[in-house]
Amino acid sequence: MPDRDPPVILTTLDACALLGVRRHTLREWECRGLLTRLGKENIGKAVSVTYDREALLSAHALAARPPKQPRTKREPPPPFTAPKGMMTAAEVAATLGVRLHTVNDMQRQGRLMPAEWMTPAQGGSAFRLYRENEVVALAMEKDGASPPVRIAAVSAAIRDGLSLPAALATTGTSRTTWHYWARTRPEAAAVHAECSTPTRIRTPVTIGQVYFVSGTGSKDAIKIGWTCDPDGRLATLQTGSPTELRYLAIVRAHYPFEFWCHRQFESDRKYGEWFARTPRLLRFVSRMAEIGDVTTLTPGELLALLNVEPLSLFGGNHGPTP
């Protein structure tokens, strides 16, 4: 009896038996688009996916193809070689010992201009070409302005009788550069130690009056300020105040004492130099009126004064200054 023709529609089990693959391989072919299922078929109590026989054989043939070979990387083009007597921007930077953006700055300043632009034979961006003799001249000029030469020039100027600031100005060297060389180069440190630099004279701290001014109201804020002309200052404040102002206390003090008072009553600050009229601030103002002069008090004595401790702790005469 002749064999019957093979079935055209196969279930998952039949397809796996025909092709010798597993179920997940069929699912993979579906995900790759090599195979499309026909539907589902009831087999007893189970349900199986069905495929077309020709589609299964075609998917198996496609999946068996060798994978594509990866693309080989193209060889990079040969490096650009400048003609004789010319230099590229990168070669100029290497010759001068600077970065490429410094070469661009020199071009913008007109110190070094490209002679021509040349496009490589293999294509790509054009290269700026500079004349070699101009670059060599710049390199010699840069070597003449190098730190050892500049330090020697400053030393020679000082030996000729110039002061250090005059020597720096003569050689065109900034003070910042010189101090950096004095820290990092022994020859500059030796010159710096030998020369007599003028010492900076500190100006004495100005002594004036710290004042406490407020309005006549019981809730008016108190201003803590510093001035050398109390009468003129009160007149200036009065022009911008709708209420009458008066001094609660004026004490002779150095200029930093004003900021010390501001820090002590920072929690009572309302705006600017105006502070809330708290009992603590009023007690301090009262003590200021009694003391009259705090120029000779130490920080510890000022804190004791702030805490309303006896005046005998200060020692000496701290009464109002006549």
Q: Answer yes or no: is pLDDT of 320 > 50.
A: no
- pLDDT tens digits for 243-267? 889 999 999 988 888 888 998 898 8
- At 321, the pLDDT band (50, 70, 90 cuts) reads very low
Alpha-carbon Rg for the chain in angstroms = 46
Closest to 196 in 3D by CA, of 144, 229, 221, 159: 159
In the chain, which residue ranges form alpha helices assigned H by DSSP?
A: 12-19, 23-32, 53-63, 89-96, 100-108, 132-144, 147-159, 164-171, 175-184, 186-194, 230-239, 256-264, 279-291, 299-306
Determine the Cα–Cα distance for residues 165 and 154; give it in Å rounded to an integer: 10
Predicted pLDDT at 310:
55
Q: How many CB atoms lie within 10 A of CB 154?
A: 24
Determine the Cα–Cα distance for residues 264 and 305; give it in Å rounded to an integer: 12
- pLDDT tens digits for 273-300? 899 999 999 999 988 888 888 888 887 7
Higher pLDDT: 45 or 113? It is 113
What is the percent of the chain where pLDDT is above 90? Answer: 7
CB environment 81-119: b (16+ within 10 A), e (fewer)? ebeeebbbbebbbebbeeeeeebeebbeeeebebeeebe
Predicted pLDDT at 316:
41
- At 150, the pLDDT band (50, 70, 90 cuts) reads confident
Q: Answer yes or no: is pLDDT of 139 > 70.
A: yes
Predicted pLDDT at 275:
93
As a three-state string, the secondary structure of 200-221 is: CCCCCCCEEEEEEEEECCCCCC
- At 4, the pLDDT band (50, 70, 90 cuts) reads low
- pLDDT tens digits for 171-220? 777 777 777 778 778 888 888 877 744 444 444 557 889 999 998 888 89
- At 97, the pLDDT band (50, 70, 90 cuts) reads confident
